[in-house]
A and B are shown apart, each in its own frame.
Chain A
C-alpha cells in the first residue's frame, strides 16, 4: 500500500485542475452543499471532532479556533486566509493555489458559514502573480456559479470574498501583522490579548487560517471524520503536504498522512543527490531547529518533531548535503530575519542586526571561540522577548547549528575563513566560479 495519500493534490496532473469544471468533475462543491444543510454549530463540531490542526506552523486545532468566535454578538465576523507563504523552504500553498484554488474557495465558504462571517479575505503574497491570477479567476467563477454572493445555493447564506495582494513583507504571515496590513497599515504584530477571535480585522471577531488548513475542510466534510482520522497519528490526524527541496535526487511535493518520516520520503524521492550524504535539514522551514542524519526516523507529526527538539512548522523539508557550509547557511537565514524584522520590538530590531554582524565575522574566520558564547548569550536575550515569534525564528538555526556543528564554526577560525567551496554545493558544479 502506498505511504502517500494525495487528496488536495490528487488531480494536479490534469490540465484543467485549476478550473471550476475540473474541480467539479471530481465532486468539487459537494461538501459545500452538504455543509449548508447542517447548522453552523454542527460544522464546527465536525471539524473539531476530526482533529484537523493548523497547517501553517503552529498546529492549533482548527475547529477550536472557529469555536472561539462569539455568537449572537450582532457584530460582523471575518474569516481571513493567510496565503502569505514566505517562510524560507515553505512551498506548499503556492502550488496548491496554482493547481487547485477551488479547494480553498470551497473551504472558505464552509468556514465562513460555520463562524457566521459574511465577508472573507484571502491575503496572498504579492510576489506570485500567476498564483494570484488563478485564485482571482476561481473567485470570479465561484460568483458566476452562485457559490459566492447572495443566497448561496438557495441557503440564505451570503458571502463576499475579497482577494488582497501583499507587497513583499514576510512579517505579514504573522496573523496580527497580516490584519494590520489588511487594514491598510504597516504590517506590524499586535500585542495580545485581545486575540483576533475577539478583536481581529476592524476590531471584529476574526479567524485567521492557513490556506492548507481551510482547503482540507471540504474533503473532511465530504468523506467524514472517520476517513480523516484513519490517516495520521494519535494526536496529528489526517493528511498533509510535505515539501522536499535541496540536495536530493528529486525534489517535490508529497501529500502523506502525518507521521511519515524523512527516510521514507527520501526513499521515494531517490535519496540524496548522487555521490553525496545528508548533512542537515529543516523539518518545517528555516525557523524550526535543524536536524541531522540521526533524525531520519523521527515521525513528522506535531508531537514527534517536537519531542526531537524542533517543530513540524510548515513541513518544509530543506535538505543540505556535506558540501554545504552550515555557517554560511545560518548566516543567510539570519540575514533574512534581520531584513524582515518589522522594527517594532527592540530585541528583534537590534538583536538580529547584532547576530548578523557576529555571524559575518565568524564566517570570515575573524571570530573567536569566546564569540560563540557571546552569540548564544545574545540569542538568549532575543528569544521570547518580542511581540511575535520572528526573532525566535532567527535564533533557532543558530542554536541548533551550534549544537550539532560547533566544530565547524571553530574550523572557520583555525582556517582563517570558510573551508568550503561554494561551487561544490551548486547544481552546476562544473560552471565557472
Chain B
C-alpha cells in the first residue's frame, strides 16, 4: 500500500494543483515541502515519501533538497516559531541581548522547542528589515524595533494563547502551520490586512514632501 494513502484525497489533490503551476514537475518540490509542513508541522518521513511518489523521484532526492534549506525542519516545530535576528546589525543593536534574555526566560536554546510545544526558538540571519532593527520574526511575520522587555511580553502573550499582531502583517498572528500553507501558495485572504509601509519605509518620502513644500 502506498504511503501517500496517509494523506487525505483532498490533500493529495492540493499537491496536484501545486505541481500544475510549473512546466516541469520537479520545480514543485519546494512548495510541496512547505505544504507538508503546513499539515505535519515539519518535514515528516511520510511527507518525503508522498512528494517522491508524486514527482517520481527517489526519497533521497527529496531529502537532499529538504535538508539544504533552513526553513524546512526535520524536527517538530512549536505552534509559534520565534526567530531572533543575530546577524551583525541586529545583533549589535540589541539582537544578541534579546536572544540571551529569551533563552533564559524559556529555558531553551537555538533550534529547541518548549515542552508544551508552543514556542520554538531560532537565531536567524538577516531578514531584510534592517531599518527596523532589532528585528524578531514570529512565524516569519515582522515584529519590528524589539527590545528584551518587548520580546519578554511577546513570549508571554504567545504562551497565554493571545499573541499580538505583527508590526507589518495580518491583524492576527497566524500559526506556524497556517503560514507554511501560505508559502506553499495557498492563499489565506489576509493580504489586504496591515499597513502599506512602516514609518522607516516612509522616511525619505516624508522628507521629500517637506522639501517640496518649502
Contacts and interface: CB of A to CB of B under 8 A. Distances in A.
A246 B89 contact: yes
A399 to B, nearest CB: 16
B113 interface: no
Interface in A64-106: 76, 85-91, 93-95, 98-99
Contact of B126 (A1, A90, A185): A90
B149 interface: yes
Given A4-B208, A88-B87, A333-B88, A17 B196 contact: yes
A88 B69 contact: no
B143 to A, nearest CB: 12
Interface string B190-214: 1110111111111111111001100
Contacts of A316: 130
A320 B125 contact: no
Contacts, number: 276
Contact of B131 (A166, A184, A251): A251
A13 B205 contact: yes
Contacts of A426: 92-94, 97
Interface string B107-127: 000000000000000001111
Give the interface residue-count category, chain B: 35 or more
A12 interface: yes
Interface in A172-226: 181-187, 202
Given A244-B131, A252-B202, A422-B96, A13 B196 contact: yes
A413 interface: no
A2 B21 CA distance: 45
A15 B93 CA distance: 30
Contacts of B192: 18-19, 137
B131 A9 contact: no
Nearest to A90: B128
B148 A428 contact: yes
Contacts of A166: 30, 69, 71
B88 A332 contact: yes
B206 A431 contact: no
A95 B197 contact: yes
Residue from the set B139, B166, B183, B195 with the largest chain A CB neighbour count within 10 Å? B183
A402 interface: no
A256 B182 CA distance: 34
A6 B205 contact: yes
The list of the 7 closest CB pairs from A to B, nearest first, reads A252-B203, A167-B69, A254-B204, A137-B191, A184-B26, A252-B200, A245-B130
24 contacts: A13-B205, A13-B206, A86-B126, A90-B128, A98-B197, A127-B140, A129-B169, A129-B179, A133-B191, A136-B185, A165-B30, A168-B71, A168-B72, A169-B69, A184-B26, A184-B30, A251-B130, A253-B204, A286-B88, A332-B88, A422-B92, A422-B97, A426-B92, A431-B149
Interface of A: 1-6, 9-10, 12-19, 76, 85-91, 93-95, 98-99, 119, 125-130, 132-134, 136-137, 140, 162-170, 181-187, 202, 242-247, 250-256, 268-269, 286, 316, 318, 320, 324, 328-329, 332-333, 336, 339-340, 342, 422-423, 425-428, 431-433
